[in-house]
Amino acid sequence: MTDLVTSAQMRAIERTAFESGAATGSALMERAGAGVVEAILDRWPSMREGPQRALVLCGPGNNGGDGFVIARLLAARGWVVEVFLSGDPETLPPDASAARDRWRAVGEVSVLDDAGLTQAAARARREGIWVVVDALFGIGQRAPLDAQLAPVNRLIDALFEAGQGPAPFFVAVDVPSGRDADTGADLARRPLPADLIVTFHALKPLHRMVDTPVRVVDIGLPR
């Protein structure tokens, strides 16, 4: 059975690995991103058959860094990928900033705001099924997140408008944004939805509280 760890325990495991030289943040981020891509393709095998379209929402921390890796790896498979960043790119942690720079060699980073997301929603409904990757806020997220999630929820409303084609799948990186990893509490009035959750190293308490399928990816941290 997969281990269960709290968010504090997970951070301690990562910190110990960094301090011992057993892992680097950049290496873990690359493995995490690759694991999410494989989890998406395993969950929806038909997406292996040809280029798809993805919308990747990146947050201001290392969860966002995972998102940039996911975007780059999907693009390498021929997918059409749009990336939006919430927050100031100048304040990204070093590893996430490096992942952003690697993505920028492939594609653009747009500001996560109503105007950009409205245009993205229109393209999504016009051009086919999308995967929306929620790499906004990871295990360290704290309330309130209503302001940060409001434009995304308006995007979701637009995507789910009746009569405009199939809705996209939502993939949460580590935990859905707006949910506490330890208690399961809502950190916003409308947490983001998830059709698949991909977490790393071990389950977090929230994952035992949801009906959503959860995939645990081994990113090479010591047990």
Collect all residues with Cβ–Cβ distance below 8 Å to 15 and sequence separation of at least 6. Answer: none
Amino acid in position 152:
V
Lowest-confidence pick of 20-34, 50-64, 82-96, 160-174:
160-174
- Tell me which H or E stretch contains 147: helix 146-159
Average pLDDT value for residue range 90-101: 97
- pLDDT score of 166 more than 80: no
How much is the pLDDT for 2? 56
- pLDDT score of 163 more than 90: no
Superfamily, domain 7-217: YjeF N-terminal domain (3.40.50.10260)
**Residue boundaries of the structural domains of the chain:** 7-217
Average pLDDT value for residue range 170-179: 98
- 80 beta partners: 53
How much is the pLDDT for 161? 73
Average pLDDT value for residue range 116-135: 86
pLDDT tens-digit profile of 31-69?
999 999 999 999 999 999 878 999 999 999 999 999 999
| Closest to 129 in 3D by CA, of 75, 172, 167 | 167
